């Protein structure tokens, strides 16, 4: 059944349309226009703003389950359902450094889930296990390892249609292994790495155009060695996602990064769990407990984030001195472009999903409006 969303300020991702109309049917946008058709059910937004639903390409758990601990369809459903509560309509459940068997289990669970559900689960993010142990962060030292050709080939064979993003430390790869990944079509993100400026630029020149959580688990900017952070700042092709919670990245540093990266700057949650309902968690050598609103491990280090994409967008608006439209792009169109899905999700455009957020002028009130296909 066709429906018309009316009396709305529409943030399409390309422009802002005052008092616009969005025609939707069976989970998709049919058109964006100015006139209200006759004899059609209307949804009156009463002058509120509407934008595309948020996209989170790095989320580890929902309100109950943690994907790396239980990489099954129940956990994926928890992540998706929980995300919808916070304006996020498209997700990549993230599996951190694990055994090969667990990785393959996560791939298969994601594939089976997507086959059964036509919703916003668009694949999986594999963060590790091929990371630099010196920058492993909260990843278990028992699971972080160098790739072998055989393991890499098996992961690519089973996961190239499911894994949308893989985080690696490129310096731990041979040229042959890196080419295997580049040719697979999986988006490579450089992170948990000790690369300096020159080494990073070398790998960027090979086709890596994304990093994992800028500033965290990478070499920092210095005046004699600009580090991986400096390479990201200098290279116009590289996308820079940030965990904007004030702890993983100070708001002042994020403001500098935004000024330098602009269209390549976007938001991720990296949430260990959403909603701050899980107060203590332990799995293998990974542990996290809530402390003053943040997840930390027993050593006092950050162990994933607690924010949702909704909070990240609000933080961008409140701390980076950007417009609501700009904050919205950091969680929608720019995220889609970073993973090569700019022609499928992240905007209000004909043929795109009928998945939206409704919000007020200052983003203090945000509500998910999701119209899945029947």
Radius of gyration over every alpha carbon of the chain, rounded to an integer in angstroms = 20
Query: What sign does the dihedral 31-87-347-185 (CA atoms) show?
Result: negative
Confirm or deny that 192 is annotated as ligand binding: yes
Nearest Cα residue to 246 out of 179, 316, 145? 316
C-beta atoms surrounding 317 within 10 Å: 21
The Cα 207–Cα 210 span in angstroms is 9
The pair of three-digit structure tokens given for residue 281, joined into one six-digit string: 């968690």
Confirm or deny that 150 is annotated as ligand binding: no
- Cα separations in angstroms, 318 against 125, 256, 311, 326: 29, 15, 10, 12
The Cα 234–Cα 121 span in angstroms is 33
Confirm or deny that 158 is annotated as ligand binding: no
Among the options 18, 245, 270, 284, which is catalytic? 270
Confirm or deny that 248 is annotated as ligand binding: yes
CB 11, CB 45: distance < 8 Å:
no
Confirm or deny that 257 is annotated as ligand binding: no
CB 167, CB 126: distance < 8 Å:
yes
Cis status of the peptide bond prior to 129, with omega within 30 of 0: yes
Confirm or deny that 302 is annotated as ligand binding: yes
The pair of three-digit structure tokens given for residue 181, joined into one six-digit string: 């990944």
Confirm or deny that 11 is annotated as ligand binding: no
Determine whether 270 is an active site residue.
yes
Confirm or deny that 90 is annotated as ligand binding: no
Confirm or deny that 28 is annotated as ligand binding: no
The Cα 153–Cα 132 span in angstroms is 20
Residue 74 φ then ψ, to 5°: -65, -40
Confirm or deny that 370 is annotated as ligand binding: no
Confirm or deny that 138 is annotated as ligand binding: yes
Please list, in sequence order, all residues whose beta carbon lies within 8 angstroms of the beta carbon of residue 187, skipping any fewer than 6 positions away.
164, 165, 166, 210, 338, 339, 340
Residues annotated as catalytic (active site), given as ranges:
270
Question: Where is the binding site for substrate, in residues?
Answer: 138, 216-217, 224, 248, 302-304
Binding residues: 127, 138, 192, 213, 216-217, 224, 248, 302-304
Binding site residue list for Zn(2+): 127, 192, 213
């Amino acid at each position: 059944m066709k429906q018309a969303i009316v009396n709305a300020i529409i943030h399409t991702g390309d422009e802002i349309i005052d008092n616009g109309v969005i025609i939707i049917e069976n989970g998709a946008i049919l058109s964006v226009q100015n006139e209200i058709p006759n004899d059609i059910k209307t949804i009156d937004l009463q002058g509120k703003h509407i934008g595309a639903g948020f996209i989170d390409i790095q989320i580890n758990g929902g309100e109950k389950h943690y994907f790396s601990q239980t990489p099954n369809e129940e956990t994926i459903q928890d992540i998706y359902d929980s995300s919808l509560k916070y304006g996020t309509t498209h997700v990549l459940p993230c599996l951190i450094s694990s055994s090969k068997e667990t990785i393959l289990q996560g791939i298969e669970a994601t594939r089976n889930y997507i086959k059964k559900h036509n919703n916003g689960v668009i694949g999986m993010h594999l963060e590790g296990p091929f990371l630099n142990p010196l920058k492993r962060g909260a990843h278990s030292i028992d699971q972080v390892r160098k790739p072998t050709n055989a393991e890499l080939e098996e992961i690519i064979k089973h996961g190239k249609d499911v894994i949308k993003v893989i985080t690696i430390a490129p310096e731990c790869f041979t040229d042959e292994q890196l080419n295997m990944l580049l040719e697979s079509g999986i988006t490579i993100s450089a992170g948990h790495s000790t690369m300096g400026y020159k080494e990073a630029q070398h790998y960027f020149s090979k086709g890596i155009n994304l990093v994992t959580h800028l500033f965290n688990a990478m070499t920092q900017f210095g005046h004699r060695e600009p580090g991986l952070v400096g390479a990201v700042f200098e290279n116009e092709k590289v996308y820079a996602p940030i965990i904007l919670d004030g702890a993983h990245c100070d708001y002042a540093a994020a403001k500098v990064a935004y000024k330098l990266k602009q269209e390549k700057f976007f938001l991720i949650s990296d949430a260990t769990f959403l909603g701050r309902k899980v107060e203590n968690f332990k799995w293998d050598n990974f542990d996290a407990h809530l402390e003053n609103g943040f997840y930390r491990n027993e050593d006092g280090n950050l162990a994933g984030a607690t924010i949702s994409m909704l909070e990240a967008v609000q933080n961008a608006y409140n701390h980076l001195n950007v417009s609501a439209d700009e904050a919205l792009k950091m969680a929608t169109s720019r995220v889609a472009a970073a993973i090569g899905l700019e022609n499928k999700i992240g905007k209000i455009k004909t043929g795109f999903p009928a998945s939206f957020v409704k919000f007020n002028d200052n983003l203090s009130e945000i509500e998910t409006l999701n119209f899945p296909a029947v």
